[in-house]
Amino acid sequence: MTQLLFFGRLGDLAGGVERTMTLSQPHAIADIIGLLDASDRLLGSALGEPRVRYAINGAIVDADALVEDEDELAFLPPVSGG
Amino acid sequence: MTQLLFFGRLGDLAGGVERTMTLSQPHAIADIIGLLDASDRLLGSALGEPRVRYAINGAIVDADALVEDEDELAFLPPVSGG
Amino acid sequence: MRRTIRISTDPFDPEAEIAAFRHALQNAGGMVSFTGLVRPSGHDGAVSALSLQHYPGMTERGIDEMLDDVASRWPLEAALVIHRVGEMQPHEAIVLVVTASEHRRAAFEAADLLMDYLKSRALFWKSETGAQGKVWIEPREEDYADAARWDDR
Amino acid sequence: MRRTIRISTDPFDPEAEIAAFRHALQNAGGMVSFTGLVRPSGHDGAVSALSLQHYPGMTERGIDEMLDDVASRWPLEAALVIHRVGEMQPHEAIVLVVTASEHRRAAFEAADLLMDYLKSRALFWKSETGAQGKVWIEPREEDYADAARWDDR
């Protein structure tokens, strides 16, 4: 089971920060966004925006990185702290 | 009576921060340094060093400014705060 | 460089933290603190609530790497970063950065860099809830420019 | 800009002052403090005592003019300057500067300028008494250079 994390306004669109997904085989992040887009266009297009970064198990990666089942995939929109 | 103030290391040389002097007529600061130098060469030459500034009644002035009796004349060596 | 990083939903008392930091110093001659406060009026008029989210674990690691960077740039005795997350009220402290060094310039610059990074690069997401509902805040152009000042130094 | 200047021979508690300053703020989003401490080892090995002298009245007026300058450069809500004079012991606070503004950059820069001025331009004279007797301290070249940064800005 893959853990998906949606931070910032992406969590509002996803209806929560956390969601799980079962991947029978490794998928590129871009493909996972495609799967999410198929059921929710608004969320899908937000996840694909150029300023959104991706992290697998806490490491920043590109959209073509492969996600395996048991991985944690996080979607990181522009940050703002302080 | 003129109040003289010697700050920082000048006070060590003058044997104290405060000293008084009676001026029967206005004198330029340079002349007052000359008077002090006559009785104490070490103090006199320290007061004339280029980095020492002068203040009459709290206002920074040049060495040719006139000091009158009842004035406060301060000798200000390089400062260091904080 | 002694370092402390704390991210918590609990309110904190900035001056109690600064005092504890100061009492642990050995030989520092100067200490700089920055305290970030929830302003009563935000981007959208009166703010009724401010909320901060982080990515547990990864946010801390990112700040730890910032502190590696800071330690390599300046000779600091100690640095402290505390960041609130969750719901906050006006006037509460959001963030506290404290740095200490032998001479003041290092402490000033290190605190300045840490705040620039925390504002625009650390993994936090901030939202304000006001009259017009919830708004996600992004760094101002100025914040990105501030952080970029350090990239070539 | 609300301002406070205090020069005193009495020891002060930096964090109590910072806390009082913070509680009086209305709309500031950030607050910067610098605390200068007596270092246990000074210019001449171990320091047994540090002493500061000022020119009563004139020193305060000079700092007040610095605050006029600061107020004309940045939109600050408040600024505080506390400076010890007389005899001090290692680890005691010599100086405290606190500034507050809507955005952090103004508070950082104002505190930085105030410290540069206090180090090299305000009317204070500092001496350390160590193993080799009493030594009058002058600003380092770096301190003069730091203060000169602001002259053309």
Look at the alpha carbons of D123, D129, D133, D139 in this order and tell me if their dihedral is positive or negative.
Answer: negative
The answer, yes or no, to whether residue C42 has pLDDT greater than 70, is no
> In angstroms, rounded to a whole number, what is the distance separating the alpha carbons of residues D121 and D144?
9
Q: Residues 6 or more apart from C102 whose CB is under 8 A from it?
A: C27, C28, C29, C30, C75, C77, D39
HEC profile of chain C = CEEEEEEECCCCCHHHHHHHHHHCCCCCCEEEEEEEECCCEECCEEEEEEEEEECCCHHHHHHHHHHHHHHHHCCEEEEEEEEECEEECCCCEEEEEEEEECCHHHHHHHHHHHHHHHHHCCCEEEEEEECCEEEEECCCHHHHHHHHCCCCC
Q: What is the pLDDT of residue D153?
A: 77
Percent of chain C with pLDDT over 90: 78
D95 contacts on B by Cβ (under 8 Å): 81-82
Answering whether pTM is above 0.90, one says yes
> In angstroms, rounded to a whole number, what is the distance separating the alpha carbons of residues D60 and D66?
10
Q: What is the pLDDT of residue D141?
A: 87
Q: What is the pLDDT of residue D43?
A: 58
Let me know the angle formed at the C-alpha of D137 by D94 and D70, rounded to the nearest 5 degrees: 55
The 10s digit of each residue's pLDDT in D81-140 is: 999 999 999 999 999 999 999 989 999 999 999 999 999 999 999 999 887 888 999 888
Of residues C57, C134, C139, nearest to A80 (C-beta): C139
Per-residue CA distances from B79 to A10, B18, B53, B58, D112 (Å) = 57, 18, 10, 15, 18
Q: What is the pLDDT of residue D139?
A: 84
The stretch A49-66 carries a mean pLDDT of 95
Band (D13; pLDDT cuts 50, 70, 90): very high
Identify whether the C-beta of residue C67 lies closer than 8 Å to the C-beta of residue C4: no
Of residues A55, A74, A80, nearest to C126 (C-beta): A80
Band (D142; pLDDT cuts 50, 70, 90): confident
Show the tokens assigned to D139: 């600003």
Interchain contact, C22 vs D39, CB within 8 Å: no
Percent of chain D with pLDDT over 70: 95
The number of CA neighbours under 13 Å toward the Cβ of C131 is 6
Let me know the angle formed at the C-alpha of D3 by D1 and D4, rounded to the nearest 5 degrees: 170
The 10s digit of each residue's pLDDT in A68-79 is: 999 999 999 999
Of residues C53, C58, C94, nearest to A8 (C-beta): C53
Q: Does D105 touch chain C (CB under 8 A)?
A: yes
Band (C143; pLDDT cuts 50, 70, 90): confident
The answer, yes or no, to whether residue D47 has pLDDT greater than 90, is no
| Residue (of B21, D49, D59, D22) closest to C35 by Cα position | D22
- Tell me the three state secondary structure of residue D87: strand
Identify whether the C-beta of residue C44 lies closer than 8 Å to the C-beta of residue C132: yes
> In angstroms, rounded to a whole number, what is the distance separating the alpha carbons of residues A77 and A5?
11
Identify whether the C-beta of residue A14 lies closer than 8 Å to the C-beta of residue A43: yes
The answer, yes or no, to whether residue C17 has pLDDT greater than 70, is yes
Mean pLDDT of chain A: 96
For the CA atoms of C3, C5, C11, C17, the dihedral, rounded to the nearest 10 degrees, stands at 0
Q: Does D72 touch chain C (CB under 8 A)?
A: no
Distance of residue D15 Cα from the nearest chain C Cα, in angstroms: 5
> In angstroms, rounded to a whole number, what is the distance separating the alpha carbons of residues C115 and C81?
9
Of residues A11, A76, A79, nearest to C120 (C-beta): A79
> In angstroms, rounded to a whole number, what is the distance separating the alpha carbons of residues B51 and C37?
44
What is Dmax (Cα atoms) for chain C?
A: 51
> In angstroms, rounded to a whole number, what is the distance separating the alpha carbons of residues C82 and C36?
10
Q: What is the pLDDT of residue C118?
A: 96
> In angstroms, rounded to a whole number, what is the distance separating the alpha carbons of residues D38 and C147?
32
The stretch A17-36 carries a mean pLDDT of 96
Q: What is the pLDDT of residue D130?
A: 80
Band (D48; pLDDT cuts 50, 70, 90): low
> In angstroms, rounded to a whole number, what is the distance separating the alpha carbons of residues A81 and C126?
6
Mean pLDDT of chain D: 93
Burial group, residue C130, by CB count within 10 angstroms (0-12, 13-18, 19+): middle
Q: What is the pLDDT of residue C44?
A: 56
The 10s digit of each residue's pLDDT in A31-53 is: 999 999 999 999 999 999 999 99
Closest Cα in chain A to C58: A58
The 10s digit of each residue's pLDDT in B26-50 is: 999 999 999 999 999 999 999 999 9
Q: Does B80 touch chain D (CB under 8 A)?
A: yes
> In angstroms, rounded to a whole number, what is the distance separating the alpha carbons of residues C77 and D86?
27
Provide the ipTM: 0.92
Per-residue CA distances from D117 to B58, C95, D19, D66, D112 (Å) = 19, 28, 24, 8, 9
The answer, yes or no, to whether residue D42 has pLDDT greater than 80, is no
Q: Does B11 touch chain D (CB under 8 A)?
A: yes
Identify whether the C-beta of residue A52 lies closer than 8 Å to the C-beta of residue A77: yes
Closest Cα in chain B to D120: B80
Q: What is the pLDDT of residue C43?
A: 58
Interchain contact, A80 vs C58, CB within 8 Å: no
The stretch B20-28 carries a mean pLDDT of 95
- DSSP string for residues in D92-112: -EEEEEEEEESSHHHHHHHHH
Q: Does B16 touch chain D (CB under 8 A)?
A: no
Interchain contact, D37 vs C22, CB within 8 Å: yes
Band (D45; pLDDT cuts 50, 70, 90): low
Of residues C31, C119, C146, nearest to D35 (C-beta): C31
Band (A59; pLDDT cuts 50, 70, 90): very high
